[in-house]
Amino acid sequence: MFDSAAVLTVFWVYLAGVVIPGPNFVAVVHKAVAATRAEALALVAGIVTVNLVWSTFALTGLSLVFAAFPWAALVVKLMGAAYLMWFGVRLILNAGKHPAVPNGSGSAGSIRNSFFQGIVTNVGNPKSMVFYAAVFSAAAPSCVSVSSFASMLAVVVTVSLTWYGLVAVMLSQSRISSMYQKARKVIDRLCGGLILGLGVRQLV
């Protein structure tokens, strides 16, 4: 039986979780202003793919797994913190060194790399793991029909793709990209500092 109330609850909980800025948001913003629109959307696709996987795990008992094996949650959190710190330091050290990229279609290699960057960024995002393991899994009922389960996953894909996709498209406008090129070093350092801070916060 389709549980519309549960699906609606998941929608509101997930919407609130997605729009709160975190490493994924910072990564999308930086990619949108620093690279091509195609690369930014490829990064979004990587993030959404991981969101789909996390939500599937959450609906099928991710919180129970972490409760039974707390060391697994700790390992994921430490790996995520390490990646965020590395990513942030890399942005800071390379601030302003990347050549200007025209807002075109991008090469197949760069699009593929952006997709995998989105995957790694989201897998290493401690905010995602905590959200899906605690908040999202608590909002969804333990037993749902196949149609309700599919609808909840559709909510995750639709909301995250719409939100991050809009951010990528809006910030990849040529006028905004040109503004970034003028202040590339400052923006790179700001984004790097934010991501580094999120990693350090997760570590401590």
Average pLDDT, integer, range 108-126 = 82
Higher pLDDT: 182 or 108? It is: 182
Compute the chain's Rg from CA coordinates: 18
Please tell me the distance from the alpha carbon of residue 132 to that of residue 154, in angstroms, as a whole number.
15
Amino acid at 96: G
The closest alpha carbon to 48, from 131, 164, 203, 201, belongs to 164
Looking at residue 164, what is its pLDDT? 92
Q: How confident is the model at residue 103 (pLDDT cuts 50, 70, 90)?
A: very low
HSE-CB of 65 using CA atoms within 13 angstroms:
16
Classify 35 as helix, strand or coil: coil
Average pLDDT, integer, range 18-26 = 78
Model pLDDT for residues 123-160, shown as the tens digit of each residue = 777 667 667 766 666 666 656 677 877 888 888 889 99
Looking at residue 161, what is its pLDDT? 92
Range of the structural domain that residue 188 is part of = 4-203
Domain count, the chain: 1
Higher pLDDT: 66 or 10? It is: 10
Looking at residue 89, what is its pLDDT? 83
Per the prediction, the chain carries an average pLDDT of 76
Q: Are 34 and 147 in contact (CB under 8 A)?
A: no
What secondary structure letter does DSSP report for 100? P
